[in-house]
């Protein structure tokens, strides 16, 4: 957690002192990101494997221009989903648990133009993580359960637009995955 806070703080310090370019995200802009995650933060260890790769959708709306010089503020929603299973074998049979993770939240994003023709930003996510589990295999009594808790994440990212409305996006942080890559669409 301390590393994520330090990374976000460093990013915002760079925002303040960088030689700014034109900001590609402004008040009134609406952008939808669709991403595929690489390296999930939700499960790890021997025996786990992915059943649903981490995917996410976020929407952002520009609400304020000219913060801290050329920084612009955006807010929006987030939905991420991933799945995994844990398997083991005993007495010639395979047993295990299947897990589904759904994160729903709100994001605050600060955009600052660090590189020409690149929308660079950093932000925070606050939401709720719903986890459900079910047993599989030849077991006499199956079970299923669900639980949830507060989800929070920090991230940095960039968007490069190929056209006025369509671009590529990448985000590095702590959420549904460590790295999200995908498509950005300006509405």
User: CATH says 2-186 is which class?
Assistant: mainly beta
Domain ranges of the chain: 2-186
How confident is the model at residue 13, as a pLDDT? 47
Contact 114, 21 (CB under 8 A): yes
What's phi and psi for 84, nearest 5 deg?
A: -150, 170
pLDDT one digit per residue (tens) for the chain, 187 residues? 555 555 455 544 444 444 445 667 778 889 999 999 988 777 666 767 777 889 999 999 988 888 777 888 999 999 999 988 887 777 777 788 888 999 999 999 999 888 888 989 999 999 999 988 888 777 666 666 778 889 899 999 999 999 989 999 999 988 788 899 999 999 9
Pairing assessment for the beta strands 119-137 and 144-161 based on DSSP bridges:
antiparallel
- The angle subtended at Cα 154 by Cα 108 and Cα 123, nearest 5°, is 30
pTM confidence score: 0.78
Listed residue (14, 60, 6) closest to 35, CA to CA: 60
pLDDT at 39: 80
Secondary structure element (H or E) that encloses residue 94, with its range: strand 93-111
């Amino acid at each position: 957690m301390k590393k994520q806070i330090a990374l976000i703080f460093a990013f915002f310090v760079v925002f303040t002192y960088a030689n700014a370019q034109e900001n590609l995200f402004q008040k009134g802009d609406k952008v939808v990101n669709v991403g595929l995650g690489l390296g999930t933060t939700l499960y790890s260890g021997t025996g786990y494997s992915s059943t649903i790769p981490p995917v996410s959708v976020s929407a952002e709306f520009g609400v304020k221009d000219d913060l801290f010089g050329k920084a612009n503020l955006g807010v929006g929603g987030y939905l991420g989903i991933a799945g995994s299973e844990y398997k083991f074998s005993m007495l010639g049979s395979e047993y295990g648990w299947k897990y589904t993770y759904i994160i729903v939240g709100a994001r605050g994003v600060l955009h600052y133009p660090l590189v020409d023709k690149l929308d660079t930003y950093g932000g925070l996510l606050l939401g709720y993580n719903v986890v459900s589990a079910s047993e599989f295999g030849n077991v006499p009594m199956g079970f299923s359960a669900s639980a949830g808790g507060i989800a929070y994440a920090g991230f940095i990212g960039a968007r490069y637009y190929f056209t006025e409305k369509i671009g590529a996006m990448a985000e590095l942080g702590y959420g549904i995955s460590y790295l999200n890559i995908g498509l950005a669409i300006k509405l």
